[in-house]
Structure formats: C-alpha cells, structure tokens
Amino acid sequence: MEQQLRIYQVKKGRMDEWVEMWRSQVLPLRRRYGFTVTGPWVVHDESRFVWIVGHDNFSEANAAFYSSPERTALEPKVPKYLDNVEAWMLDSVGA
C-alpha cells in the first residue's frame, strides 16, 4: 500500500468548519475511491490538520479522485479553508 502524509495549514478560526467538511464530504469521497485513511489529527496551536491517505495504486486513484465530478462539486470549496497544503509520499522502513 502506498501512503501519503498530508499536512494542511487551516485558515485561522476555520478549523471546526474544516473538520466538519472533511468528515462529511472529503473522507467519504476518498473512501468511495478505494482509499484508506489514517487520522486525522489536529495541532490546534498551529492550526494544522494532519492525516495519512493510502491506496494500492495511489497515483492512478488520486488522479481519478481529483478529476471526478464529485470532487469538483465539493461545496464549499476546499481552498476556502486552507492556506497551504503539503503532501509527501511515505516509504516504510519496517517496524
């Protein structure tokens, strides 16, 4: 499974709204496209939202997700809540 760490800088004062929108719209849609989701976590002092999303064929599934009519139709639009998005593909080193 390929995994991606995603860290969002949420606009000041918008965290509760973002979390609700993520739970009710983004998360179910990601799952519909076959993604697994670990998290989410919030760093309140820094207004950061962190989660890990995974898929067996991440690049192909992610492209399908972002080009889907459902993703395009998300309301309110995701950028309304976020100042910055950082994402890194993760490589397991075993435990």
Tell me the domains of the chain and their CATH numbers: 2-88 (3.30.70.100)
CB atoms within 10 A of CB 67: 9
Please report the pLDDT score of residue 73 as a whole number. 87
Residue 82 and residue 11 in contact, taking contact as beta carbons nearer than 8 Å: yes
For residue 62, which amino acid is it? Answer: N
Please report the pLDDT score of residue 95 as a whole number. 74
Span 1-8, average pLDDT: 97
Span 7-28, average pLDDT: 96
Question: Tens of pLDDT along 34-56?
Answer: 999 999 999 999 999 999 999 99
